[in-house]
Amino acid sequence: MTPTTTETLSSHAGGLKLWLERYPFLPALIIVVALLALNGAFSPNSLGYRSLTGLLSTYMALIMLAIAQTYVVSAGDIDLSAGATLSLVNVAIVVLMEKWGGGAGAVVGAMLLGVLLGLVCGVINGIVVAALRLQAIVATFATSIFFTGVALYVMPVAGTPAPALFWRTYGGRLLGLPFVFYVLAALALLLFLLSRTRLVTQLLAVGDDQQAAYQTGLPVVLIRIKGYALCGLFSALAAFCLTGDTASGDPLVGGKMTLYSVAAVVLGGSALAGGWTTVVGSLLGALTIGLVNSLVFFMGTPSEWQNFVQGLAILFVLMAGVLAGRRARA
């Protein structure tokens, strides 16, 4: 009975709506494809295997950070310290890997501690926002200052190089394929596994209506803390990708990335108010930012105008993302 009703009710526009409901990242995908086509039109080389791999390894850190942001946004929160967490993990693993000799053991050990550090940062944010009930925007801004301070303590000046083993692996090939492809595959698997957990559904429930979630018996505070912990975890993963790409430590590297991560989430079609998010969309949103930047370059924009055109283009796709996302939810 139900399927028939849906069928009769859905006009042409309704069909589109169903599609959007099932695949909320579709508008973002269309934007990414369009940007790829434009990039190709201005510079056919930019669609080559090599340039696309390069784009992916440069923007993998932002992709991870955007996904990190998505989990807190799901619960209706925001994390302005994600970039600072990334910086902290970046300098911490670089210093540790150097201290432990830069061998395989050192790399693995430092990465494990990096993940732990990211989780700790996330839990601190969660406690501050959910348990102490401070307003997320200002509280995570305060923790971002604190994390930046710790990062500066670990490494006062940028420039300590990461061991060759680390960045050669990240930028190199494995069994004939670029290593970033394996990173992407691992990320896809991780996202798939996470999407089957109860936590992601609970985060969305909290983001949709916190009071209702509480009244159905969900431990709202704990769920929000877990959301922030997940954000910290992915910020740490973002730090790994960034370290692989830049091959060095920089205590202030992530500061500028925070707002881009928020933008990527919105570009992907998620609602900042929470309750409706898509990690695939955020991934595409981060790619959109990367593609806009390279398109502006390939179009031959004079260098002093590049930032302005990028800013304008991102503002327009942001608006498009919000409008398309609303259509899907309406």
Q: How far apart are CA 318 and CA 296, in angstroms?
A: 17
- Phi and psi torsions of 224, nearest 5°: -65, -40
- Burial string for 215-234 (b: 16+ CB within 10 Å, else e) reads eeebebbebbbbbbbbbbbb
326 binds other proteins, rule: CB under 8 A: yes
CA–CA gap between residue 101 and residue 113 (Å, rounded): 16
Under rule CB under 8 A, residue 134 binds other proteins: yes
Number of Cβ within a 10 Å radius of residue 236: 29
The site string for other proteins over 170-209 (x = CB under 8 A, - otherwise) reads ----------------------------------------
Query: Given the complex with other proteins, which of 96 and 106 has the nearer CB atom?
Result: 96
Residues with Cβ < 8 Å from 149, sequence gap 6 or more?
Answer: none
Beta carbon nearer to other proteins, 136 or 233:
136
- Alpha-carbon distance 284 to 269, whole Å? 10
Stretch that binds other proteins, among 17-25, 108-116, 237-245, 265-273 (CB under 8 A): 265-273
Contacting other proteins (CB under 8 A), which of 137, 186, 189, 222?
Answer: 137
Which residue, 152 or 184, is less far from other proteins as judged by CB? Answer: 152
Near other proteins by CB under 8 A: residue from 138, 185, 186, 188: 138
Among 52, 150, 191, 299, binds other proteins (CB under 8 A): 150
- Bridge partners of 178, per DSSP, are 173
Contact set for other proteins, span 219-248 (CB under 8 A): 220-221
Binding mask 273-292 for other proteins (x = CB under 8 A): x-------------------
Q: How many angstroms separate the CA atoms of 61 and 78, rounded?
A: 18
- Residues 198, 189: Cα–Cα separation, whole Å: 17
- Give the residue among 155, 79, 156 at the shortest CA–CA distance from 118: 79
Among 30, 33, 112, 145, binds other proteins (CB under 8 A): 145
Q: Measured from the CB atom, is 36 or 224 closer to other proteins?
A: 224
Interface residues with other proteins (CB under 8 A) are 80, 128, 132-135, 137-139, 141-153, 156, 210-211, 214-215, 220-221, 259, 262-263, 266, 272-273, 304-312, 314-315, 318-319, 322-323, 326
